[in-house]
Amino acid sequence: MDDRRGLTRARVLTRRLDVTPDLGALAAATGSDVVWLDSGLPEGAPEAARGRARWSLLAHTDGPFATRFRHEDRRAELEVPPAARRWFGTSRSEDRPAFAVLDDLLSRTPALDTPVPGCGFALGWVGFLGHELGRESGGPDRTAAHADADLRFADRAVLVHADGRAWALTLVTDDEPAASAANRAWLDGPHTGGPPVDVPDGATGLPAVAVGRVSRAAYEGAVEACRAEIRDGNAFQVCLTTAFAVGASGREALLAPATDPHLVEYLRLRRADPVPFGAWLRLGPLRIASRSPERFLRVDADGTVVAEPIKGTRPRDADPARDAVARSALAASTKDRAENVMIVDLLRNDLLRTAVPGSVHVERLCDVETYATVHQLVSTVSAVLPAGASRAAVVRAAFPPGSMTGAPKISAMAIADRLEGAPRGVYSGVVGYFSADGSVDLSVAIRTLVTVLDDRGVERSRTFGAGGAVTWSSVASDEADEVETKTRSVFGALGVTAGW
């Protein structure tokens, strides 16, 4: 605890649950916004991947200390309940950069001890940072069509280990007896969520074809434009993306959460494609369903930092022999390994900006990991932070994720932004938490379906982003094929195909 902040009276209470809760059912039974960070793996997943998939958590946003930080149109909007004002001040609107506000909020957050050994979540801030916040670290000056960031200070959460052990956590402080009494009462609740949500196997009611923002020919033309930039020496690699619109049905996201079709869709996705960094978020007008396999950054409470970029992907094949050939071809691919190594080098530089000099190391390079729908190349870069390092500064220095920008980062971002001509939004930003014990764990928001609702709760848009790294050796048709491969990890489970 940090006496200098006057926050020593705050602490986490824990309760070991007798049964493993169904976090999907808990999310359905909760009428408020929720953040569900959902880990899983297919059978036979490599040990390195298993280390990322040990914990899932459901963070509630309806507790007496729950605070909201939203950044939209370059303004920070803070909604602070009375019980949390001693930490975060009053509700307000500020014309300040998002990372500056986040740094201030983290410095004001009560310092809490890690309550469950092995899990780096001690309550704290949960949600997403969108790609367009890259403008605060040298990226193009563009805003998304929705909030650029939405983080909630969660004072109630349920943790579940991969072996079924589970805990409920809540925040109390001697300075707020009424709020603390409410959280103690919540802690004693059942935390089961009721019966499992019914996930039918039939049609979803979604359109059969998701419409591309650009045609396949236009995307291939943009690939060639990237290659021209690389030929001229303006970049080594450009992460070029596009988006597909899953036609908004006009259906209402009913206020009874158990009937929320977006949660039902997410449950279909997780059943078909287990990944270590799945997530489902209900945050105001947004529904975010992510099946990401990629960690952006993990920061342990002791200051150890780990990044695990993915570059290089091949689709799985139902035939075991052909699947093994595809896996071996990825491992041997000069192009894919070059893509991965470039991003590893970029991340070494990003981490060194805030790490102890000499502490940055490449722990593994271009390992093949296999998931339900793809094989991919994964590397691991680690570093050590100086004591007291700002977690917001560490994330800002590496944001947006290098695997979604290219290299050099600032030049590659400018090229991609010009060619794409549209914001990415949540896609290729990050999802996860900033824990009150100093830990951070953020995934890259890829393979992510984002739905925006209007004020009446009716779908306004539903989009899915996909792309890939373009290098000089890229073949435009192959890059377009890779985009289609990446859409299948989500669209396949929903009965949707990508249409260019």
- Full-prediction pTM beyond 0.75? yes
**Six-digit token string for 344:** 């590893």
From CA 433, how far away is CA 199, in angstroms rounded?
A: 28
Catalytic residues: 294, 311
- pLDDT value of position 52: 83
- The predicted-structure confidence for 336-387, as pLDDT tens digits, reads as follows 999 999 999 999 999 999 999 999 999 999 999 988 788 999 999 999 999 9
List the beta bridge partners of residue 458: 252
Tell which CATH architecture fits domain 3-499.
4-Layer Sandwich (3.60)
Residue holding tokens 């780990």? Answer: 306
428: left (phi over 0), alpha (psi -120 to 50) or beta: left
Least confident of 7-21, 220-234, 293-307, 351-365: 7-21
pLDDT tens for residues 183-242?
999 999 999 888 899 998 888 888 999 999 999 999 999 999 999 999 999 999 999 999
pLDDT (average), residues 473-480: 96
Residue 367 to residue 377: CA distance in whole angstroms: 5
What is the residue whose two structure tokens read 């073949």?
A: 475
- Written as one letter, the residue type at 23 is L
Among 394, 357, 336, which residue's Cα sits nearest to residue 137?
394
Question: How confident is residue 48, by pLDDT bands cut at 50, 70 and 90?
Answer: low
Q: What is the per-residue pLDDT for 21? A: 96
Mean pLDDT of 329-336: 94
- Encode 88-124: b = buried (16+ Cβ within 10 Å), e = exposed: beeeeeeeebbbebbbbbbebbbbbebbbeebbbbbb
Enumerate residues 6+ apart whose C-beta is below 8 A from 94.
Answer: 75, 76, 78, 101
3-state secondary structure the chain: CCHHHCCCCEEEEEEECCCCCCHHHHHHHCCCCEEEEECCCCCCCCHHHHCCCCEEEEEECCCCCCEEEEEECCEEEEECCHHHHHHHCCCEEECCCHHHHHHHHHHHCCCCCCCCCCCCCCCEEEEEECHHHHHHHCCCCCCCCCCCEEEEEECEEEEEECCCCEEEEEEEECCCHHHHHHHHHHHCCCCCCCCCCCCCCCCCCCCCEEEECCCHHHHHHHHHHHHHHHHCCCCCEEEEEEEEECCCCCCECCCCHHHCHHHHHHHHHHHHCCCCEEEEEEECCEEEEEEECCEEEEECCCCEEEEECEEEEEECCCCHHHHHHHHHHHHHCHHHHHHHHHHHHHHHHHHHCCCCCCCCEEEEEEEEEECCCEEEEEEEEEEECCCCCCHHHHHHHCCCCHHHCEECHHHHHHHHHHHHCCCCCCCCCEEEEEECCCCEEEEECCCEEEEEECCCCEEEEEEEEEEEEECCCCCHHHHHHHHHHHHHHHHHHHCCEEEC
Judged by phi (left if over 0) then psi (alpha if -120 to 50, else beta), residue 339 lies in alpha
Percentage of the chain modeled with pLDDT above 90? 85
More confident residue, 32 or 2: 32
CB 310 within 8 A of CB 443: no
- Torsions phi, psi for 178 (to 5 deg): -70, -45
The Cα 480–Cα 500 span in angstroms is 10
pLDDT-derived band at 2 (thresholds 50, 70, 90) equals: very low
- Examine the pLDDT at 256 and tell me if it is beyond 50: no
Residue 236 CA to residue 353 CA, distance in Å, equals: 21
- pLDDT 10s digits, 53-106: 899 999 999 999 999 999 999 999 999 999 999 999 999 999 999 999 999 999
Residue 204 confidence (pLDDT): 84
Q: What's the gap between Cα 492 and its chain centre?
A: 21
> How many Å from the N-terminal Cα to the C-terminal Cα in the chain?
55
Mean pLDDT value of segment 416-424: 98
**Average of per-residue pLDDT values in the chain:** 93
Residue among 468, 464, 470 at smallest CA distance from 482: 468
Angle between helices 216-231 and 476-494 (to 10 degrees): 130
Least confident of 15-24, 294-303, 370-379: 370-379
Give yes or no for residue 43 having a pLDDT over 90: no
Stretch 286-294: mean pLDDT:
96
Q: In which residue are the tokens 């220095």 written?
A: 397
